[in-house]
Amino acid sequence: MNYKIKEMQEELKPRYRAKSKGISNLSDEELLSLIIRCGTKDKNVKNLSIEVLQRVGNLNNFLNIDIKDLMRIKGIGEVSALSILASIELGKRVLNYHQDKIKLISSKSVYDCFKYLFIGLKQEKVIGIYLDNSKKLINYKELFIGTVNNCLIHPREVFKYAVTFSASSLILVHNHPSGNLNPSKEDLRVTKEIKEIASKINIPLLDHIIISDTGYKSIIDN
């Protein structure tokens, strides 16, 4: 039934439920309805939100979506598409701000802070995480993007940013899109090489973590 939102019972409207129940208790569809705000003459905002979620597939895919993808969905114009993208970007920035306040003292703390950067990726990506002498985050940098099962890591790039950021130590994180958390021979070789160089220049490599949709594994711990 394609009723208009204004025809819904007041207590069922997303805006009412957000105020009475709390925003965290809304469904994905209701949250998206609040962002999109209005539907079309043929489709109310509730049904439009359902269609967007179905077309996108899952929430992970929102991290890699662009304005053209959204505007291919009938009923989503430029304003609605930009509203969705702005909400996603703001969420990313909140997570980035949160990272600055956390000490990265374990493989799990690194995973919890940075796993969102790898959600839904179909190719390998490497990031370098640069810490001060209290193991607080100074900055992080995307170092390399590779193929579905390979990503070359060049020590020169890793340590260039370590010097730029005046880091006291560093951590490497990369993903395995296949879901296999076991390090490859190349992963082990590169980790050994970078660890040796890091030791010589007194900017130790604290960890090298593999991430997938199923979890994480520390190469150094294991």
> pLDDT, tens digit, for every residue of 19-29?
888 888 889 99
Please say if the pLDDT value at position 61 is more than 90. no
The number of residues making up the chain comes to 222
What domain range is 84 assigned to? 5-96
**Burial state string for 143-154 with b = 16 or more CB within 10 A and e = fewer than 16:** bbebeeeebebe
110-155 residue pLDDT tens? 998 888 888 778 889 999 999 999 999 988 998 988 765 566 788 9
Band the pLDDT of 100: cuts 50, 70, 90: low
Taking the C-alpha atoms of residue 24 and residue 180, their distance in angstroms, rounded to an integer, is 33
Single-letter code of the amino acid located at 160 = K
Q: Which of 96, 131, 146 is the last residue of a domain?
A: 96
Q: Which residues contact 74 (CB under 8 A, 6 or more apart)?
A: 40, 43, 51
Supply the pLDDT for residue 1: 45
- In this structure, the answer to whether residues 49 and 70 fall within a common structural domain is yes
**CA distance from start to end of the chain:** 56
- In this structure, the answer to whether residues 156 and 68 fall within a common structural domain is no
- In this structure, the answer to whether residues 103 and 213 fall within a common structural domain is yes
- The mean pLDDT value for 184-204 works out to 95
Number of helices (H), then strands (E), in the chain: 8, 5
Supply the pLDDT for residue 120: 75
DSSP-assigned letter for residue 215: E
- In this structure, the answer to whether residues 90 and 107 fall within a common structural domain is no
